[in-house]
């Protein structure tokens, strides 16, 4: 606790820690200092809008309260008790309104607009501005998801500060000078960055609005449902704004330990997938020569029951890791207890050994040393973690990336060895990790035993005794670990041999989209898919049962920190809840599973969560404490050898194809037209040396070839990328094999 100082705000005494901002100090005294530009999450205050002018004893001029900090004995007078401060505040509001169009009746911000509120409370009733206002074309799209109305803009620079100092994409900027300053992107290029949508929430007026929410609702018609984003393992807290049973927008809901109120564009703008044209609304059953046909629910369940009985335990279940804990558990009870079908294909999960190094994600932001190991970019796996890394770097931390495009270059597949090498006596980085009180290790990529190797490293570096040190694994799916645990606790029989596979059950669209699951489907006699979208399983499933989205579910999930969080149903799904029909189906096999999520949770909680109730998983769930370190099972991975570098310049060596799953991908994103601009271009990234050897420069059209197959892509030279690899987004890689050659076309 820092030193306390005593101040007077509008004749009220207040004690706050020295250095507290005056806005917060006044709030502690129960006094409001109105602000527009002030937003502590955006970095140091700028004092631009001048809404917060206050009088401070001993200072001749009015001061911008947001730029000063509490000092002992300070006497502050706000507009409430100082005529001078009130004059200043009135002056500011009058100036802000001089060019503002006051088009509140047609403005989306109306009703939830700080400018409207402050004008109503403090502003002049009439205008003295009788000359021409500044006019601009309105509104203009700065991207397919964001509209900009420059006439409404009050130039608080919140959006540009976010772009420059938080997301660090520096694409939304102020241009020109003085009265003619405006917010813009470069030329006509869209604001294309993973966190762009936050500027809509930051804007204190109706200048930056969401194109999705445009003219959709008024604040008095909406409800905001507090829930959790289900699109990546971070589990950012969100509010789903609904009107008349439809989701209209997603807003961030500040959880200071997880997301600090920031939300990526995938989490924010993907909700229209609920209304996708190919959404499965009725059960579908394959008929000979007629394909999939809609059937009544009873008939569908009869068909599934028949398939299950015929399979006689030769069932494999492929899970997506997007299920709620309750769904996975109910599915497990039905299949494992009811049928003895224990075989499951589980998504990449997180090792429980990491519980010994558990900490809030915010720990990264205050670290002094962060080492990120793995093949994938952090932003593609858990984008909010990338913002924490940027914050750490801005605060002076050393962020070292060990990977194919890292400062420490490591070939794909070699990351686990690089992690192990940190424990070597000679490792300088290892020595720094060992001696730091604020060090964080992050695993960002496949392999590594789902963080097991990371846990071993953290243990070897002595992280247990140091609460400021933490280790995080970034899994590929939102809830894989808890899904695996729920599935596993549903029954305690041993693994059975499913071969030959008579029935494959595919839970979720992500599993349905997976190539390895497709291979299983070809082996299985029959396949049942539980999915939201017909496009994914329409061609090969025998039965499709409609699924719900995370926005339509009650239940719990566990994020990558190991934090239990609660999903709340924002809107009713157009299809029955999974738990409802799972419960009915289970009953046919003599298994009793509740149809409501809280009851399911109550049943499973003693098995894996120490018996806490769903009610205890509250809206801003704190993180459980650290567990004692339990060594994970040892590594059983085989390393993939990197291709040898060519010795003869004329003999071009093969490149290793590295596929990655970009942030803007997946079945939901694919169904939102306004997000398509965020998807990666058809590009192959090459190291400078590899490109040079082939006479390729950025922008060249190249052919990426492997045995018998080829894909045409644009080349991009990435100076950070390790030699010997060709990096391509999954969706552009087609059927390429792991060894490829790249030739200029």
Partner 1 sequence: MSALGDRIREVAAHYPERRSAIIPALQLAQEDHGGWLPPEAFREVAEALEVTPAYCFSIASFYDMFRLEPAARTTVEVCTNISCAAVGAQQVLEAFERELGTRPGETSDDGAFHLGTIECLGGCGWATVIAIDDRQRVGVRPEDVPAIVEELRGDGA
Partner 2 sequence: MATAPEIPEIVFAGTEGGAVTDLDAYVQAGGFRALAKARAMAPDEVIEEVSTSDLRGRGGAAFPTGRKWSFVPKPEQLPKPHYVVVNADESEPGSFKDREIMERVPFRFIEGCLIAAYANQATHVFIYIRGEYDRPFEVLRDALEQVRARADLLGGVTIVLHRGAGAYICGEETALLESLEGERGQPRTKPPFPAVAGLYASPTVVNNVESIVTVTPILELGGAEYAQVGVENSTGTRVFSLSGNVVNGGNFELVSGTTLRELIDVHGGGIAGGRRLKAICPGGLSSPILTADQVDTPLDITSLAEAGSAIGSAGVIVLDDRCCMVEYALRASRFYEHESCGKCTPCRVGTRWLSQILQSIEDGHGTQADLDLLLDVCDRVNGKCLCVLGDSDALVVASCLDKFRDDFQAHIDLGRCPFEESPLAGVLAPAVQHERRFHRELDVIPA
Give the interface with partner 2 as residue ranges (CB under 8 A).
45-51, 53, 61-62, 64, 67, 87-88, 90-92, 94-96, 98-99, 128-129, 131-132, 137, 139-141, 144, 147, 154-155, 157, 174-182, 184, 188, 211, 214-215
Give me the least distance between CB of 722 and partner 1, in Å please. Answer: 19
Q: Is 9 helix (H, G, I), strand (E, B) or coil?
A: strand
Alpha helix segments (H runs only) across 444-594: 452-460, 480-489, 509-512, 515-523, 534-537, 578-588
Q: Between 276 and 346, name the residue whose CB sits nearer to partner 2.
A: 276
- Which listed option, partner 2, partner 1, none, makes contact with residue 170 (CB within 5 to 8 Å by class)? partner 1
d(CA 669, CA 112): 28
Q: Between 212 and 227, name the residue whose CB sits nearer to partner 2.
A: 212
Give me the least distance between CB of 65 and partner 2, in Å please. Answer: 11
Which residue is associated with the tokens 């419960």?
A: 583
Give me the least distance between CB of 633 and partner 2, in Å please. Answer: 49
Query: Residue 178: is it exposed, middle or buried by C-beta count within 10 angstroms (0-12/13-18/19+)?
Result: exposed
Helix (H) / strand (E) element for 147: namely: strand 146-148
Subset of 18-47 contacting partner 1 (CB under 8 A): none
User: How would DSSP label each residue in 552-566?
Assistant: G--EEEE-TTS-EEE
- Which listed option, partner 1, partner 2, none, makes contact with residue 96 (CB within 5 to 8 Å by class)? partner 2
Give me the least distance between CB of 160 and partner 1, in Å please. Answer: 8
d(CA 380, CA 662): 5
Alpha carbons within 13 angstroms on the beta-carbon side of residue 506 total 32
Q: Between 42 and 276, name the residue whose CB sits nearer to partner 1.
A: 42
Give me the least distance between CB of 159 and partner 1, in Å please. Answer: 12
Give me the least distance between CB of 259 and partner 1, in Å please. Answer: 25
**CA dist 593 → 298, 597, 608 (Å):** 18, 10, 17
Q: Between 51 and 371, name the residue whose CB sits nearer to partner 2.
A: 51
Q: What are phi and psi of 740, to 5 degrees?
A: -130, 160
Helix (H) / strand (E) element for 299: namely: helix 297-311
Q: Between 188 and 495, name the residue whose CB sits nearer to partner 1.
A: 188
Q: Between 52 and 687, name the residue whose CB sits nearer to partner 2.
A: 52
The three-state DSSP-derived secondary structure of 598-649 is: HHHHHHHHHHHCCCCCHHHCCCCCCCCCCCCCCCCCCCCCCCCCCCCCCCCC
Bridge partners of 225, per DSSP, are 240
Give me the least distance between CB of 184 and partner 1, in Å please. Answer: 8
- Which listed option, partner 2, partner 1, none, makes contact with residue 140 (CB within 5 to 8 Å by class)? partner 2
- Which listed option, partner 1, partner 2, none, makes contact with residue 677 (CB within 5 to 8 Å by class)? none
- Which listed option, partner 1, partner 2, none, makes contact with residue 484 (CB within 5 to 8 Å by class)? none
- Which listed option, partner 1, partner 2, none, makes contact with residue 154 (CB within 5 to 8 Å by class)? partner 2
Give the pairing of strands 369-373 and 439-443. parallel
Nearest to 624 by CA among 243, 329, 352: 352
Subset of 334-373 contacting partner 1 (CB under 8 A): none
Q: Between 92 and 242, name the residue whose CB sits nearer to partner 2.
A: 92
Structure tokens at 264: 């990526």
The three-state DSSP-derived secondary structure of 158-225 is: HHHHHHHHHCCCCCCEEECCHHHCEEECCCCCCCCCCCCCHHHHHCCCCCEEECCCCCCCCHHHCEEE
Give me the least distance between CB of 67 and partner 2, in Å please. Answer: 4
- Which listed option, partner 2, partner 1, none, makes contact with residue 62 (CB within 5 to 8 Å by class)? partner 2
- Which listed option, partner 2, partner 1, none, makes contact with residue 157 (CB within 5 to 8 Å by class)? partner 2
Structure tokens at 220: 């008095």
Alpha carbons within 13 angstroms on the beta-carbon side of residue 349 total 19
Nearest to 488 by CA among 289, 352, 658: 352
Q: Between 92 and 436, name the residue whose CB sits nearer to partner 2.
A: 92
Query: By CB under 8 A, how many residues form the interface with partner 1?
Result: 15
Give me the least distance between CB of 716 and partner 1, in Å please. Answer: 13
Nearest to 313 by CA among 343, 293, 284: 343
Give me the least distance between CB of 352 and partner 1, in Å please. Answer: 41
Q: Between 26 and 717, name the residue whose CB sits nearer to partner 1.
A: 717
Q: Between 139 and 667, name the residue whose CB sits nearer to partner 2.
A: 139
Nearest to 182 by CA among 144, 131, 214, 134: 134
- Which listed option, partner 1, partner 2, none, makes contact with residue 139 (CB within 5 to 8 Å by class)? partner 2
Q: Between 185 and 556, name the residue whose CB sits nearer to partner 1.
A: 185
Instruction: Judge contact between 426 and 600, C-beta under 8 A.
Output: no
- Which listed option, partner 2, partner 1, none, makes contact with residue 49 (CB within 5 to 8 Å by class)? partner 2
- Which listed option, partner 2, partner 1, none, makes contact with residue 638 (CB within 5 to 8 Å by class)? none
Q: Show Cβ contacts of residue 288 under 8 Å, excluding neighbours closer than 6 positions.
A: none
Options 146, 164, 663, 725; binder of partner 1; rule CB under 8 A: 164
- Which listed option, partner 1, partner 2, none, makes contact with residue 328 (CB within 5 to 8 Å by class)? none
Q: Between 170 and 305, name the residue whose CB sits nearer to partner 1.
A: 170
Give me the least distance between CB of 193 and partner 2, in Å please. Answer: 18
Instruction: Judge contact between 190 and 677, C-beta under 8 A.
Output: yes
- Which listed option, partner 1, partner 2, none, makes contact with residue 94 (CB within 5 to 8 Å by class)? partner 2
Angle subtended by helix axes 297-311 and 578-588, to nearest 10: 50
Q: What does DSSP assign to residue 69?
A: B
Q: What does DSSP assign to residue 493?
A: P
Give me the least distance between CB of 192 and partner 1, in Å please. Answer: 11
Q: Between 41 and 286, name the residue whose CB sits nearer to partner 2.
A: 41
Give me the least distance between CB of 54 and partner 2, in Å please. Answer: 12
* Interaction mask 167-206, partner 1, x per CB under 8 A: --xxxxxxxxx------xxxx-x-----------------
Q: Is 91 helix (H, G, I), strand (E, B) or coil?
A: helix
Give me the least distance between CB of 187 and partner 1, in Å please. Answer: 5
- Which listed option, partner 2, partner 1, none, makes contact with residue 131 (CB within 5 to 8 Å by class)? partner 2
Q: Between 71 and 613, name the residue whose CB sits nearer to partner 2.
A: 71
Q: Between 224 and 698, name the residue whose CB sits nearer to partner 1.
A: 698
Give me the least distance between CB of 336 and partner 2, in Å please. Answer: 49
- Which listed option, partner 2, partner 1, none, makes contact with residue 169 (CB within 5 to 8 Å by class)? partner 1
- Which listed option, partner 2, partner 1, none, makes contact with residue 275 (CB within 5 to 8 Å by class)? none
Instruction: Judge contact between 16 and 25, C-beta under 8 A.
Output: yes
- Which listed option, partner 2, partner 1, none, makes contact with residue 172 (CB within 5 to 8 Å by class)? partner 1
Which residue is associated with the tokens 């892509």?
A: 713
Helix (H) / strand (E) element for 401: namely: strand 398-403
Structure tokens at 314: 């030769």
Bridge partners of 473, per DSSP, are 443
Q: Between 171 and 548, name the residue whose CB sits nearer to partner 1.
A: 171
Q: Between 94 and 169, name the residue whose CB sits nearer to partner 1.
A: 169
Give me the least distance between CB of 727 and partner 1, in Å please. Answer: 20
Strand 223-228's sheet: what is its strand order? 223-228, 237-243, 246-252
Nearest to 539 by CA among 719, 291, 200: 291
Q: Where are the beta strands (DSSP E) in 258-347?
A: 284-287, 291-294, 315-319, 343-345
Q: Is 352 helix (H, G, I), strand (E, B) or coil?
A: helix
Give me the least distance between CB of 40 and partner 2, in Å please. Answer: 14
Positions in the binding site for partner 1 (CB under 8 A): 164, 169-177, 184-187, 189
């Amino acid at each position: 606790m820092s030193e306390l100082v005593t101040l007077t705000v509008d004749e009220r005494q207040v004690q706050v820690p020295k250095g507290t901002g005056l806005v917060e100090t006044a709030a502690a005294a129960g006094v409001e200092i109105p602000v527009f530009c002030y937003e502590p999450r955006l970095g140091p205050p700028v004092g631009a809008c001048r809404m917060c002018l206050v009088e401070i004893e001993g200072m001749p001029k009015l001061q911008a309260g947001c730029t000063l900090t509490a000092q002992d004995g300070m006497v502050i007078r706000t507009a409430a008790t100082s005529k001078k401060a009130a004059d200043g505040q009135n002056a500011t509001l009058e100036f802000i309104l001089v060019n503002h169009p006051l088009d509140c009746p047609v403005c989306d911000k109306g009703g939830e607009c700080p400018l409207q509120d402050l004008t109503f409370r403090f502003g002049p009733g009439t205008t003295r501005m009788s000359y021409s206002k500044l006019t601009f074309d309105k509104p203009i799209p700065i991207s397919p998801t964001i509209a900009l109305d420059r006439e409404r803009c009050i130039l608080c620079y919140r959006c540009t500060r976010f772009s420059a100092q938080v997301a660090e994409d520096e694409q939304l900027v102020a241009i020109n000078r003085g009265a003619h300053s405006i917010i813009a992107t470069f030329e006509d290029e869209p604001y294309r960055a993973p966190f762009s949508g936050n500027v809509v929430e930051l804007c204190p007026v109706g200048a930056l609005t969401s194109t999705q929410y445009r003219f959709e609702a008024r604040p008095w018609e909406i409800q905001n449902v507090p829930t959790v984003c289900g699109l990546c393992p971070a589990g950012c807290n969100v509010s789903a704004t609904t009107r008349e049973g439809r989701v209209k927008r997603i807003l961030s809901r500040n959880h200071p330990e997880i997301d600090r109120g920031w939300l990526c564009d995938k989490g924010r703008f993907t909700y229209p997938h609920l209304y996708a044209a190919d959404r499965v609304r009725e059960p579908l059953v394959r008929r000979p020569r007629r394909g999939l046909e809609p059937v009544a629910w009873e008939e569908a369940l009869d068909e599934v029951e028949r398939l299950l009985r015929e399979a006689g335990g030769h069932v494999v279940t492929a899970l997506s890791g997007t299920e709620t804990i309750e769904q996975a558990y109910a599915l497990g009870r039905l299949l494992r207890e009811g049928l003895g079908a224990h075989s499951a294909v589980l998504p990449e999960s997180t090792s429980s050994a990491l519980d010994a190094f558990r900490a809030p994600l915010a720990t990264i932001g205050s670290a002094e040393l962060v080492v990120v190991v793995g093949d994938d970019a952090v932003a593609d796996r858990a984008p909010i973690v990338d913002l924490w890394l940027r914050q750490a770097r801005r605060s002076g931390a050393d962020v070292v990336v060990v990977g194919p495009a890292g400062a420490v270059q490591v070939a794909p597949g070699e990351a686990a060895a690089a992690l192990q090498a940190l424990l070597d006596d000679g490792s300088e980085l290892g020595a720094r990790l060992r001696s730091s009180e604020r060090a964080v290790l992050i695993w960002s990529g496949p392999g590594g035993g789902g963080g097991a190797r990371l846990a071993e490293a953290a243990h070897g570096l002595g992280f247990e005794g140091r609460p400021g040190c933490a280790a995080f694994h970034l899994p590929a799916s939102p809830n894989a670990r808890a899904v695996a645990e729920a599935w596993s606790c549903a029954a305690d029989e041993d693994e059975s041999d499913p071969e030959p596979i008579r029935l494959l059950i595919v839970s979720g669209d992500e599993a349905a989209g997976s190539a390895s699951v497709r291979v299983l489907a070809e082996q299985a006699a029959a396949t049942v898919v539980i999915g939201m979208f017909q496009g994914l399983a329409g061609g090969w499933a025998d039965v499709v049962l409609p699924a719900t989205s995370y926005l339509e579910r009650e239940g719990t999930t566990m994020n990558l920190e190991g934090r239990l969080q609660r999903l709340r149903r924002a809107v009713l799904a157009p299809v029955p809840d999974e738990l409802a029909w799972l419960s009915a189906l289970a009953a046919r096999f003599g298994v009793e599973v509740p149809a409501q999520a809280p009851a399911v949770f109550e049943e499973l909680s003693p098995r894996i969560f120490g018996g806490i109730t769903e009610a205890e998983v509250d809206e801003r769930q704190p993180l459980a404490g650290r567990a004692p370190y339990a060594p994970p099972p040892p590594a059983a991975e085989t390393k993939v050898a990197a291709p040898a570098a060519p010795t003869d310049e004329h003999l071009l060596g093969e490149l290793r194809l590295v596929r990655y799953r970009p942030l803007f991908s997946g079945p939901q994103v694919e169904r939102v037209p306004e997000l398509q601009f965020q998807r990666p271009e058809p590009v192959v990234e090459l190291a400078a040396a590899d490109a040079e050897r082939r006479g390729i420069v950025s922008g060249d059209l190249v052919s990426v070839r492997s045995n018998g197959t080829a894909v045409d892509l644009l080349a991009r030279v990435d100076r950070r990328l390790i030699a010997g690899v060709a990096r391509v987004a999954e969706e552009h890689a087609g059927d390429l094999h792991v060894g490829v050659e790249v030739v200029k076309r």
